[in-house]
Amino acid sequence: MVSSKHMNRHIPFSSHREYRFYQGLLAIGVANGIQALNFLGDRFLRKSHASGGIDELYRHSVNSAFSPKEAFLVTGAPHASAYYPRDFAWFYPDVLDPETIMGSEDAVRRVRLLEKGVRLLVEAVRANVVTTTIVPAGGDRYIGVNYFSLPSDTLLGILAGLEQIVRADQRASPFLAMSQGAHAGRLLLAEYREDLKNAIFQLAEALEPFEDGGVAALLCDVTAPRSAATDTRAERRRFVTNACVYATFVRGIRLGVIDRIELEGLLGRELSQYKTELLGLFGKPGYVRHALDLRSEPAASCIALDFVNVHQGFWDLSEAGERALFAATTDLILGEPRFRIPDTSHFLVSVDNPQNKMIHKIAAPAYQGRSCWPTFNVEFADRMLDYDECSGTDKYRSCARDILRDIRSATETHGGYQELLSEKGQKYRTWAYQSADAHSWFPRFLSVWRRAFGTSLLDGS
């Protein structure tokens, strides 16, 4: 983009360190205190970036998200000082796309941050700390916290981050950092393969059979909720949590962490059958239900935008039946005015809002309901492009482009790639989220923009 010079120096990756992880009631109390201080510091110390053109905003975002001063990728939101393993799948799925890198120094920073972050997360797996959140507690000490329930997507995120590094050199790139990063990723994979394998098989063993109206499948959340990126209601039997588990298995096989035959023996069925059963259970009415406990009408009230899952996740759209189910769910969202910010192609997470508790008004966003995640809109657009490509049609490309254009407009209006938008299209501003931008989510937007339009969003690229 800005520079295509090679990095000729060796990247000093992090050496093996003795991380210490803590869990339990006392540790959670300490983590809550640390997080409260983080939010207060962000509220009173963060300065907003002035509005500008898309090139300037992107350059500022890249420098913020991939700063060499950071120990991890940061979102640009108040919770950035904690680590969220699932983010590599949901929100940082393509950080090493060469088309989004600003130059050789930017490439080095991204590769180093990914390697450092993934090493920390696989160390947590080795310590049997598979949580939704890891809070730094000084030095090399970290606290593992599940704020709502056990995770469904933490291992998926870790595998997605590891896969990014391992495959960093498989796309044409002028940056030597990519091949160096790929080598570091392969070393990580070899070192932690057994730990990841054991964790994935523990997840597989936790699946339980569930039947609804004669249709049965294995679920991860039959009796107790498991959290995923949009969960603040601690619901059971959700599509996206179970789709994340399937995607975890697929990535584990693709990376060579687990053996397909061994996994299928544990599941008691082929992986393809496991997925078919999930689609049959959640897609029984002809569209994908957000959760099996939701039976309200109209149909649009039973679905949520997070059905698009994650990049290289649940949907591969290779089967006609799967494409039909995806299209039916997509059409319900496109046709329901309550899913849209008026006069835009910004889509809200759902048509209904959960009960907003005091913490949602002061500190944390209400992830579900009538708020808009631009990053989910980007993935919605990308799945639409997947559909058109797999079906040989041009059904959704114009809608995908409209989504991306509106995200660009909002980014320039609000002075940065926003984390959330309100149902009226304003930047989401709780008391603690006064200046929250989504710096590290910006590159994924550029990747999908190029796919949709065939050209880069930025000048000089």
Give the tens place of pLDDT for each residue, 27-47.
999 999 998 888 888 777 777
- Nearest by Cα to 186 from 121, 250, 255: 255
Sequence-ordered list of residues with C-beta below 8 angstroms from that of 388, at least 6 positions apart, any chain: 394, 395, 396, 397
pLDDT surpasses 50 at 8: no
Q: What are phi and psi of 151, to 5 degrees?
A: -80, 155
pLDDT, tens only, 291-301 = 998 666 778 88
Contact 244, 309 (CB under 8 A): yes
Place of tokens 């060469």: 98
Tokens of 187: 């070393």
Sign of CA dihedral 423, 451, 327, 322: negative
The single-letter code of the amino acid at 258 is I
Higher pLDDT, 221 or 77: 221
pLDDT tens track for 229-275: 877 667 899 999 999 999 999 999 999 999 999 999 999 999 999 99
Residue 397 has pLDDT above 70, yes or no: yes
pLDDT computed for residue 57 by the predictor? 93
Q: Is the pLDDT of residue 9 over 60?
A: no
For 356-382, what is each residue's pLDDT tens digit? 777 777 766 766 788 899 999 999 999
What tens digit of pLDDT does each residue of 132-151 get?
A: 999 999 888 999 998 778 89
Whole-Å CA distances, 432 to 42, 46, 363, 414, 428: 7, 11, 5, 17, 10
pLDDT at 78: 74
Q: Which of 97, 36, 44, 64 is nearest to 417 (CA)?
A: 64
pLDDT of residue 433: 78
Helices 397-414 and 54-65 meet at what angle, rounded to 10? 80
Task: Report the pLDDT value the prediction gives residue 233, as an integer from 0 to 100.
Answer: 66
Strand spans (E) along 140-269? 141-145, 150-151, 208-212, 215-219, 226-227
pLDDT per residue as tens digits for the range 302-339:
999 999 999 999 999 999 999 999 999 999 999 999 99
Whether 6 has a pLDDT exceeding 50, the answer reads no
CB 126 within 8 A of CB 192: yes
Q: Determine the 3-state secondary structure of 255 from DSSP.
A: coil
pLDDT at 460: 58
pLDDT given for residue 377 in this prediction = 97
pLDDT at residue number 2: 42
DSSP state of 100: G
Give pTM, 2 decimals.
0.93
Q: Is the dihedral of CA 215, 253, 92, 231 positive or negative?
A: positive
